[in-house]
Structure 1
Amino acid sequence: MKRREISFFLRNIPGEFGKIADLLKDRNINIESISIQDASAYVQTLFNARGKSLKRIASNGSYVSMQKDSYEFALVRLLVDKTDAAIDVMKECNYIFEITPVVAMYLPNKPGILADLTSELGRNSININYIYGSTSDKGKNCLFVISPEDIELAEAIFGNS
């Protein structure tokens, strides 16, 4: 099903994410799925993608400088149970964030499920921008968050999984 993901950059220092986690906890907002990555990897991916399309928006030196500076930050992606309340928290605390539509699916924790899902996207010519998920004990469901290039088509294919 289509959901709204909150993404933002956070200073890459001890305790910084804990501040946001505490704010969400204080509002009884549950984090259902999370991805945190060094922002320099994000900048490198951007640089590589721009290189493949030959549509770089900055010089090579600018990307190198951005990547060096980005080690100080992490890219955080969150799926929460109360998105509107989490957005209010982010605004109140002056965080700069973005809301992105994603497809969130509960899948059985067994071999091949993710392969089947991603293969189906490929058969329908839907590229995956990124994917992350949770794990569980065998026999239970895991929550996977997918950012497809064509979210409407992906949602139509998978329905309310």
Structure 2
Amino acid sequence: MIRREISLFLSNVPGELGKMTVLLSDAGINVDAITIQDASSYIQNIFQARGKSIKRLASADSYKYVKRDSAKVSLIRMLVDKPDEAVALLNEKEYIFDTKDLIAIELENTPGTLSKITREFGEKEININYVYGSVSDSDGRCLFVFCPEDLQAALKIFESFG
């Protein structure tokens, strides 16, 4: 259930994702789940929060330039079947990345399954930082990736769902 996610930044230009996935594929590493977004929306959300509720740490012009530059970068989050090998390979090729433990669980692909789990998180007051899922298999199950603030408390919720 606990898996190590790799988060990395790639240039937001045609071909960069292909280069990275070919690198993994050639090493026999399979991508089990992936989510991709340009970093500008991620950065813009941070700046909006700072503008509304957190003291500004730099001038407005500084934020403007960072927002512009962040559109040139994509944030990739992924689970792979061989994380240690992937980390070594990404290090060797000098990718900028980080890893973190989170929860990956197979769920039934039926209406209400996700709502039951997320409602339980809310009742236990456990925040979910982000979630993404993969396509279902032939048995109608999907791999969902949860990044909760409290990993151990989240594990207890998933254990209660069997």
TM over 0.5: yes
Alpha-carbon distance in 2 for matches of 1:118, 1:40: 27
Aligned length: 161
- Following the alignment from structure 2 to structure 1, what is the Cα–Cα distance between the partners of residues 57 and 150? 24
Q: Structure 1 residues 128 and 51 mapped into 2: Cα distance closer, same or farther (>3 Å)? A: farther
Shift of 1:60: 3.4
Other structure's SS at 2:104 match: strand
Report the equivalent of 1:156. 156
Q: How does 1:58-97 map to 2 (within 5 A)?
A: 58-97=58-97
The percentage of aligned residue pairs carrying the same residue is 51
Q: Secondary structure at the match of 1:47?
A: helix
Report matched runs for 1:1-161 at 5 Å.
1-136=1-136, 139-159=139-159
Measured in 1, the distance between the counterparts of 2:56 and 2:72 equals 23
Work out the CA distance in 2 between the residues paired with 1:128 and 1:52. 22
* Counterpart amino acid of residue 82 in structure 1: K
Distance 1:74 1:121 in 2: 29
Alpha-carbon shift at residue 62 of structure 1 (Å):
2.3
C-alpha distance in 1, partners of 2:39/2:29? Answer: 25
Give TM-score scaled by structure 1 length: 0.92
The 10-residue stretch of structure 1 (130-139 or 84-93) with the greater mean CA deviation from structure 2: 130-139
CA offsets 1:67-103 (integer angstroms, 9 cap, x no match): 1111111000010010001001100100111001111
Q: 1:57 to 1:3 in 2, by over 3 A?
A: farther
Pair 44,124 (structure 1): closer, same or farther in 2 beyond 3 Å: same
Distance between the aligned counterparts of 2:129 and 2:28, measured in 1? 30
1:134 Cα deviation from its structure 2 partner: 1.0
SS in 2 for 1:121: helix
Code of the residue aligned with 2:44 in structure 1: it is Q
SS in structure 1 at match of 2:153: helix
Distance of 1:117 and 1:82 partners within structure 2: 28
SS at match of 1:76: strand
- TM-aligned CA deviation for residue 51 of structure 1: 4.1
Alpha-carbon distance in structure 2 between the residues aligned to 1:27 and 1:138: 27
Which whole-Å CA distance do the structure 1 matches of 2:153 and 2:143 have between them? 20
**What letter matches 1:84 in structure 2?**
D
Give structure 2 stretches of 5+ with no counterpart. Answer: none
* Distance (whole Å) between structure 2 residues aligned to residue 146 and residue 122 of structure 1: 14
